[in-house]
């Protein structure tokens, strides 16, 4: 059985929410920043207290965000013009322990960005259900979905595919930059709740049922986003939101392998993925081996975390509402850990993958471990990374690169660390920092630092190298041969960019900071 969230039902629910002010900014205003932050940490009491004088909005906050049972009369007033009978029949509401109270039957919450506000319909999580989630549980707005949303490029596109849409979070975020959106899912319940999410937000999304890429066979899209059931382990399906039925990291491998074939020329794909760290095998070799053959794909694999198998199993059991200490939890933990041991699994990597079709034989594949903390979302950086790879493909030859005018962006700085010596301070480390994006760092020698100091867009790289060679008494050919690989790397990571990419006056040269 799936909820019947008809267009007329969603229209009346939307009217009720708007009348009560049940929207992201209004909820924050009601609760205050401290109580709202506490709620995000799983501490509901400050929000409960702040909502008590909130009228109908307070009722909806306690009902849907805190999981409280509320008086029937208050719920009726807060949801008008939607009738309570309709709401119970559609699973929006459920009976409480007391006959004169009702609880939420579904998780319906405001969700937004700085410029957009939506409502998302999903299933109640294990905490609100006070027990194990159902096998066809539809996950709501969580850390993984928010991470993917932040890691997705937002340049305008005509067509976008949200593969495995779940409750529809990625499609909502895509509505700001994609003209036409297609969303797929295997689970009937997920399709029903996603349909409700789209109707509630008055979005026109093409919804298709079926596994993986089957519903869109033969079609291509300008952008594909995917938050697949990426949990790794034995080939079984206990919960459809996390388990694919494929052994190990087979779900991530399948999507990485098949996604490029569904992209238009210049189209991009971005997904969350997990991969096994197998003893004796480099994780980068493993994930790059998933790509379709022919070296015709640009691929950027970003590893954000590596989990210990025991911690990983416990985390996912608790996520589904299973106590690892219970008989069921012990049985599943044992089977899961046995599988990891039998397959020499030392850890489980997690991160993001960006893909784009490339000319045959010219694809660039980079696997990076970015487990350090950084604040900037990866979405803009992923698009810029592809731009830089494309520029290098066209301009990376020696002749073209030497003719390029390059600049150091204003977000880049050079740190120098020195130690005292007999003749004064002696520099022991020169490190280039990007203050935006993933916060990349690159150590340089004295000559590279001097070269970058001249990268202000006024002179071609060849002229800068001639001057540097003359000033240091070095053979120009040898300096060019040594410099070009370094420059290519610096361009790839946005430490140096073509002058035409920056508005006039924004080149910084390189500032230095540190001990002297």
pLDDT score for 241 = 84
What is the DSSP-derived secondary structure letter of residue 456?
A: B
Termini Cα distance of the chain: 71
What single DSSP character describes residue 216? G
SS3 345: strand
Residue 302, number of CB atoms within 10 A of its CB: 22
The CA-atom distances, in angstroms, between 42 and each of 106, 110, 132, 147, 408 are: 18, 17, 18, 19, 44
pLDDT value of residue 276: 97
Q: Which are the contacts of 99, defined by CB distance < 8 A and separation ≥ 6? A: none
User: Distance between CA atoms of 91 and 70, rounded to whole angstroms?
Assistant: 16
Collect all residues with Cβ–Cβ distance below 8 Å to 141 and sequence separation of at least 6: 109, 111, 120, 122, 167, 169
Share of the chain above pLDDT 90, in %: 76
Using alpha carbons only, what angle is made at residue 205 by residues 240 and 15, rounded to the nearest 5 degrees? Answer: 95
Output the CA–CA distances (angstroms, integers) from residue 443 to 137, 211, 288, 431, in the order listed.
Answer: 48, 46, 27, 4
514: pLDDT strictly greater than 60: no
Write down the H helix ranges in 396-509.
398-403, 446-453, 461-472, 476-492
Q: pLDDT by residue (tens digit) across 74-126? A: 999 999 999 999 999 999 999 998 989 999 999 999 998 888 899 999 999 88
Q: Which two tokens stand for residue 96?
A: 């409480």
The answer to whether the beta carbons of residues 432 and 491 sit under 8 Å apart is no
CB 412 within 8 A of CB 508: yes
Helical packing angle, 476-492 and 446-453, nearest 10°: 70
Phi, psi dihedrals of residue 366, rounded to the nearest 5°: -130, 130
| H or E, element range at 266 | strand 263-278
Residue 156 is given by DSSP the state -
Confidence band, pLDDT 50/70/90 cuts, at residue 424: confident
* SS3 category, 288: helix
- What integer pLDDT is reported at residue 112 of this predicted model? 87
What is the Cα–Cα distance from 20 to 427, expressed in whole angstroms? 63
> What's the whole-model pTM score?
0.90
User: pLDDT by residue (tens digit) across 126-157?
Assistant: 888 878 888 889 999 988 999 999 999 999 99
């Amino acid at each position: 059985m799936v909820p019947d969230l008809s267009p007329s039902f969603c229209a009346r629910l939307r009217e009720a929410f708007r009348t009560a002010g049940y929207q992201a900014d209004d909820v924050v205003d009601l609760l205050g920043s401290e109580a709202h932050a506490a709620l995000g940490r799983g501490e509901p009491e400050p929000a409960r207290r702040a909502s008590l004088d909130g009228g109908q909005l307070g009722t909806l906050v306690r009902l849907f965000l805190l999981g409280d049972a509320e008086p029937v009369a208050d719920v009726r007033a807060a949801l008008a013009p939607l009738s309570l009978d309709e709401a119970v029949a559609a699973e929006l509401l459920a009976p409480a322990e007391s006959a004169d109270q009702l609880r939420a039957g579904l998780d319906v919450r405001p969700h937004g960005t700085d410029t957009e506000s939506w409502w998302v319909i999903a299933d109640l999580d294990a905490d609100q259900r006070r027990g194990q989630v159902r096998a066809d549980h539809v996950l709501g707005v969580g850390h993984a979905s928010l991470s993917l949303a932040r890691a997705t490029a937002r340049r305008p596109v005509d067509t976008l595919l949200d593969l495995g849409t779940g409750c529809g979070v990625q499609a909502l975020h895509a509505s700001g930059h994609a003209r036409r959106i297609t969303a797929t899912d295997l689970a009937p319940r997920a399709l029903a709740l996603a349909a409700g999410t789209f109707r509630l937000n008055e979005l026109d999304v093409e919804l298709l049922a079926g596994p993986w890429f089957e519903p869109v066979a033969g079609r291509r899209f300008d952008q594909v986003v995917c938050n697949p059931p990426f949990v790794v382990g034995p080939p079984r399906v206990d919960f459809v939101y996390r388990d694919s039925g494929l052994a190990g990291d087979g779900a991530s491998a399948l999507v990485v392998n098949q996604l490029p074939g569904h992209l238009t020329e210049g189209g991009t794909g971005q997904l969350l993925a997990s991969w096994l760290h197998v003893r004796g095998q480099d994780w980068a070799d493993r994930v790059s081996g998933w790509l379709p053959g022919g070296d015709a794909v640009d691929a950027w694999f970003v590893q954000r975390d590596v989990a210990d198998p025991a911690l990983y199993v416990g985390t996912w059991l608790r996520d589904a509402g299973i106590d690892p200490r219970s008989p069921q939890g012990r049985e599943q933990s044992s089977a899961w850990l046995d599988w990891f041991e039998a397959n020499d699994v030392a850890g489980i990597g997690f991160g993001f993958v960006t893909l784009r079709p490339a000319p045959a034989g010219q694809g660039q594949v980079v696997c990076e471990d970015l487990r350090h903390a950084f604040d900037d979302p990866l979405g803009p950086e992923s698009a810029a990374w592809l731009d830089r790879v494309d520029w290098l493909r066209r301009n990376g030859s020696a002749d073209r690169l030497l003719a390029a005018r390059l600049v150091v962006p204003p977000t880049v700085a050079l740190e120098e660390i020195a130690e005292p010596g007999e003749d004064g301070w002696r520099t022991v480390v020169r490190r280039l920092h990007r203050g935006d994006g993933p916060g990349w760092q690159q150590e340089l020698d004295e000559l590279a630092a001097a070269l970058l100091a001249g990268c202000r867009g006024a002179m071609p790289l060849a002229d800068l190298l001639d001057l540097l060679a003359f000033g240091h008494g070095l053979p120009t050919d040898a300096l060019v041969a040594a410099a070009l690989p370094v420059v290519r790397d610096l361009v790839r990571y946005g430490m140096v960019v073509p002058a035409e990419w920056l508005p006039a006056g924004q080149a910084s040269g390189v500032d230095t900071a540190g001990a002297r």
